[in-house]
Structure 1
């Protein structure tokens, strides 16, 4: 993706961010891929672009249109709200499988220090038969 400073030539219609799905003003800077004709806000770019630099199973496209930083509330899984985000080095290891969370998609507790990787959260929701698992 390249940083664009002007509307894209031959672009029809409104501009929407592929990450947060919100409309944006093409007169302001944004990232755009001419190959796939997708655009993203500069504010949404750091998480997605940083994640793409790592060879992680499933790649970033598994999480397109997911609002990073959104919260998941389900007391059957964890008593506090969990934030969906990209793991950083200081997040340590998954509380369930023990794998490093650095550059992985994770759920992080906003109250205590609980962190869990996306795959373990998905399994945990299936095991506890939670019907509103984060997908």
Structure 2
């Protein structure tokens, strides 16, 4: 049995990922980034969806992006947050895969499921 994780509540997007990001290069240097599609937004543990997707879906093969995310987030994830991210991913992944198969074999979501399953097969990360 996994012990209950000590994680905080926050206002979360609920579907935070590249499909809901608007990115535009600025003249000179930098990027303008916007986020859309807030129908799943609610107060919840960030590890439930938003953090879980960033650390297990979007950055596992890109240490540079993982480091940039943590720098912007302002801290490393705690051991409890890592545990909770993995537990929520184990719940979310089959549902995402089912959704993808029901929606014309959405390859982006199938890829997400594969990436997450690959991460869940590995020993838990600590940062």
For normalisation by structure 2, the TM-score amounts to: 0.23
Q: Which has the higher helix share?
A: 2
More strand by share: 1
User: Whose RCO is larger (CA < 8 A, sep 6+)?
Assistant: 2
